[in-house]
Structure 1
Amino acid sequence: MPGFELIGEEERAALNELMDEGGVLFAHGFGPMRKRYHVRELEAAFRDKLGANDALCVSSGTAAIKVALKSLGVTYGDEVITQCFNFIATVEAIVDCGATPVIAGSDETLNMDPTQLEGLITKKTKAIMPVHMLGVPARMNEIKAIAKKYKLPVIEDACEAVGAKYNGQYAGTLGDAGVFSFDFGKTITTGEGGLVILQNAEMAEKSRWYHDHGHMNLEGRPRGLDRAGITGFNYRMSELNAVVGKAQLAKLDYILEESGKRFKVLCDGVTVPAFKKRAIPEEAEPAFDTVIFEVKDKNLRDSTIALLSDMGFGTKNLPDAMNWHCSVFWDHMGFDTRTPAAMETLALLERQIAIPVVLGRSVEDYAALADALNALAD
């Protein structure tokens, strides 16, 4: 989550330059008043960085999920398989398309358990959407193999995994579509914003139409005389967000390197069996967003949370925001939230403690935290 920590002169200079160029904040048109199209430049920069066929900037990670679903034609009567541990936006987007979320439980990675996946597929299944929670990729080899067997598309919710890799490939580029979030708590931030990665040209075209009220943006036609390709909505990113995004993207490698140092020293430094480290697939390189330990003893868990507060680290999502990150709590959405797999996942999540990795704390601070956790468990 360090993106907001590094907002500085580069972002200020980019915003000032935008104003000096004419101050056009809209991503389309106004050619005589502007010098550049920054949203389009940010899309190209992400496409090149991630090695993707196409990239589309949108207004949020939530919007990115919905745009990806719409590009696949997800609608009323369809089912989309996702996982119990996610952010509520994953399921909200499915419901907002009129589809029904089908919830898989989590394995020791805390992401989608591939062994449950095949049993959840029905004739109504339209897509599979694993979520790379808190920077760790799901078991994509197994998930993709099942998806291929049933000829189902895979949407990767990589909103919390910007920069993570699997089999040496960036998360978000492994499936048919991938989505990212750039809100203020993410690895890099545009304040609000998101990105859709699409490997299929037809899906990419539909996504561009849908996120812009259906605009086809036909070459040589002013927007007022343009045609609509589909019924769309407004999920556009502004130029303000884009110039900040370009400055932040330039810092991504540094963020990952420095976060990795803190992640490693904490993970390697905690050696007592009472703190069980979250499993990371051997094919995966995480985004080093969060270190998660399973602590089965409730008294030790409570003491650990108190220690993290006293030392100024706090926790992230587990346990402090469970209501927003576990589908068991979302009865208001009108689907079966309390399946056996979901309840088992809830019990698993209730034993976890997630520690945020921030650059405002030094590597030495995380080493000291590791020593304190070892001492606490002795």
Structure 2
Amino acid sequence: MTKNPHTLAHRTLGTEGLEVGAIGLGTMGLTMAYGAPADEAAAIATIHRAYESGVTLFDTAELYGMGTGSNEQLVGRAVRGFRDEVVLATKFGFDLTDPEQVGVALDSRPEHIREVAHASLRHLGTDVLDVLYQHRVDPDVPIEDVAGTVGELVAEGKVRFFGLSEAGPDVIRRAHAEHPVSVVQTEYSVFERAVEADVLPALRELGIGFVPYSPLGRGFLTSDVKPAAEYAEDDMRRWDDRWQPGNYEANLEAVRRLIGLAASKGVAVTQLALAWLLAQGDDVVPIPGTRSPHRVEENVAAAAVELTPADLAEIASTLPHGAAGSRYPAAMMPSWETAAR
């Protein structure tokens, strides 16, 4: 397997030395949320093409296998030939014992963190987890206990870097005081701008890197989008608020404007959206997900797209407050954002 000689520029996240390519790969969609799981051969081909294109950050989670480890195992098999050249990030923090509560019930008790971390090591087939995130803040467990437990795993050589996902400024500061937080992962795109008010300023204040997930609006920031009813029953876009009547039409019109700007620059709208994110700071590394090797190449090429100040202003003004519709149902909305509202 040969890497692209025109490899991605690297960015450093946090102050602990975490270095990754400027665009990563989110793997959730390979096994859940967007219809039936991808064919394993195709999924592995996508991960291989990402590596060949210069991607070094591969993002998975216990949740993405619904507790079975299937997503982590898939990623582990795919990177086996180049494990030491890439960064594997995974997450803990959910109670997956009740299928009816998947994605809602939380568990960040220290003993559960250790249980999940050891399972992730087995599933990924590795001796160390490069990044271990708390997937969602657990209000029943002090964040100091969470950070301290991950810090112990770092001291034991089982984890290299500590991350948080969907955490607010207060939690981030308290965690960072207990053990250095290298990265925070939260949804961020032209569609979703909430982090700009308080989260991003806190990260810059503390020197913590930022990893935007869903940087393409779960597929809305592409030229291939359709109404909610046309997606499969097991595709989250069928119930996503941004795809519902009224919101869908408003968001589609905004994307059409972005497609026009992208066309004037000779790039795809996905590349425009990713280039806009990269331009928000050298401490930003988006992790678009895809099941297509071709889309991986297209996404990685966004790192070479140059946007003028006028371009950036036009993109931001197209959706000054983000997309129409909520990004999650109320029960799934992270606590920091609920408080901010």
TM exceeding 0.5: no
Per the normalisation by structure 1, the TM-score is: 0.31
Per the normalisation by structure 2, the TM-score is: 0.33
